[in-house]
C-alpha cells in the first residue's frame, strides 16, 4: 500500500507540473492549425500554387510543427491586440486597475487590506501601483500553490485570447477568398469565423478579469488564514 500511494503521488506531481506546459502547447497548436489549413487551401485554390511537395511520411509531423510555429506567431500578435483592447475598454489591464479607487469590483476595505497585507507580508511599498502589487501577489500564489483556479483562469484566458485573434485572421482570409472565388459557402464560413472571434473575445475578456480577481482573492484568503492561525497560537 505505501508503494502504491507513492506511485499515485508521483503521478499526481507529474501531472501538476506538466499540465500548464501541455496546455500552452495546445493553445498554440489549435489556433495555428486552424489558420494554417485555411491558408494552405487558399494558396492552392486561389493562387494555384502546389504546396504538397513534402514526402507523405513526414508531412503530418511537418504540418504540426508549422501549426505550432504559426500559433506562437499568433500568440505574439495577440499581445499588442490585448494591450489595445484593454486600454480602450477599461483604461488598462484588469491587473493594473482593480485596486484603483474608480474600479468597483472590490470593496474599498478589501483593496485597503490587499495593500496592507502586501506591504506587511511581501515588503511592497504602500504607494506601489496596482500592477506591481499584482505581479508579486501572483508570484506568491503560484510559488506556494495556493489556488489551482488561478492557473485554470490563466490557461482559459490565454487560449481564448489566441483563438479570438486566430478566428479574426481566419475571417479576413475567408472574406478575401470568398470575394476572389465568388463563393457563398466560403463567405458563410467567413461570417461564422467572425462570430467565433466575437465569442472568444468575450470569453477572453471575462477570463482575464476572473484571473486577476482570483489572484488577489487567493492572496487575501491565504494571508487572512495565516493571521487568524497566528493569533490563535499566541499564548494568552
- In tens, the pLDDT along 87-141 reads 888 788 888 889 888 888 899 999 999 999 999 988 998 888 999 999 999 999 9
pLDDT value for 148: 87
pTM exceeds cut of 0.95:
no
pLDDT for residue 177? 92
Q: How far is CA 69 from CA 52, 53, 82, 120, 193, in A?
A: 18, 19, 20, 44, 21
Residue 81's pLDDT is what? 86
Mean pLDDT within 55-80:
84
The CA-based diameter of the chain, rounded to the nearest angstrom, is: 85
Burial of 106 (0-12, 13-18, 19+ CB in 10 A): middle
Q: How many domains does the chain have?
A: 1
165-197: burial string, b at 16+ Cβ within 10 Å, e else:
bbbbbbbebbbebbeeeeeeebbebbeebbebb
Tell me what the pLDDT averaged over the chain comes to. 83
pLDDT at residue 19 in the model: 45
* Distance (Å, whole) CA 140 – CA 223: 11
pLDDT in the model for residue 14: 37
What is the C-alpha separation between 236 and 231, in angstroms, rounded?
Answer: 10
The per-residue pLDDT for range 133-163, each reduced to its tens digit, is: 999 999 999 999 998 899 889 989 999 999 9
Can you tell me the distance from the alpha carbon of 127 to that of 118, in angstroms, rounded to the nearest whole number? 11
Strands annotated E in the chain? none
**Residue 50 confidence (pLDDT) above 80:** no
Whether the per-residue pLDDT at 85 is higher than 80: the answer is yes
What is the band of 232 on the pLDDT scale with cuts at 50, 70, 90?
low
> Distance between CA atoms of 193 and 213, rounded to whole angstroms?
30
Q: How far is CA 83 from the centre of its chain?
A: 13
Is 171 or 81 the better-scoring residue by pLDDT? 171
Q: Report the alpha-carbon distance of residue 29 to residue 76 in Å, rounded.
A: 14
Is the pLDDT assigned to residue 196 strictly greater than 70? yes
Parent domain of 172: 2-233
> What's the pLDDT at 132?
92
Amino acid at each position: 500500500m505505501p508503494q502504491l500511494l507513492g506511485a499515485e503521488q508521483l503521478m499526481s506531481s507529474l501531472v501538476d507540473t506538466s499540465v500548464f506546459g501541455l496546455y500552452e502547447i495546445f493553445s498554440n497548436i489549435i489556433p495555428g492549425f486552424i489558420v494554417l489549413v485555411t491558408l494552405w487551401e487558399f494558396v492552392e485554390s486561389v493562387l494555384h500554387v502546389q504546396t504538397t511537395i513534402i514526402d507523405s511520411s513526414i508531412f503530418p509531423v511537418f504540418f504540426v510543427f508549422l501549426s505550432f510555429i504559426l500559433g506562437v506567431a499568433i500568440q505574439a500578435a495577440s499581445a499588442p491586440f490585448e494591450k489595445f483592447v484593454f486600454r480602450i475598454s477599461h483604461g488598462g489591464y484588469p491587473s493594473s486597475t482593480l485596486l484603483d479607487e474608480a474600479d468597483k469590483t472590490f470593496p474599498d476595505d478589501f483593496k485597503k487590506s490587499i495593500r496592507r497585507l502586501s506591504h506587511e507580508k511581501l515588503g511592497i511599498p504602500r504607494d506601489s501601483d496596482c500592477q506591481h502589487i499584482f505581479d508579486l501577489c501572483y508570484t506568491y500564489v503560484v510559488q506556494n500553490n495556493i489556488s489551482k483556479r488561478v492557473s485554470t483562469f490563466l490557461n482559459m484566458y490565454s487560449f481564448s485570447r489566441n483563438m479570438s485573434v486566430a478566428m479574426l485572421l481566419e475571417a479576413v482570409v475567408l472574406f478575401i477568398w470568398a470575394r476572389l472565388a465568388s463563393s457563398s459557402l466560403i463567405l458563410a464560413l467567413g461570417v461564422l469565423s467572425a462570430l467565433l472571434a466575437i465569442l472568444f473575445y468575450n470569453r477572453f475578456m471575462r477570463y482575464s478579469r476572473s484571473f486577476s480577481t482570483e489572484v488577489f482573492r487567493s492572496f487575501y484568503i491565504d494571508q487572512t488564514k495565516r493571521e487568524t492561525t497566528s493569533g490563535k497560537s499566541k499564548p494568552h
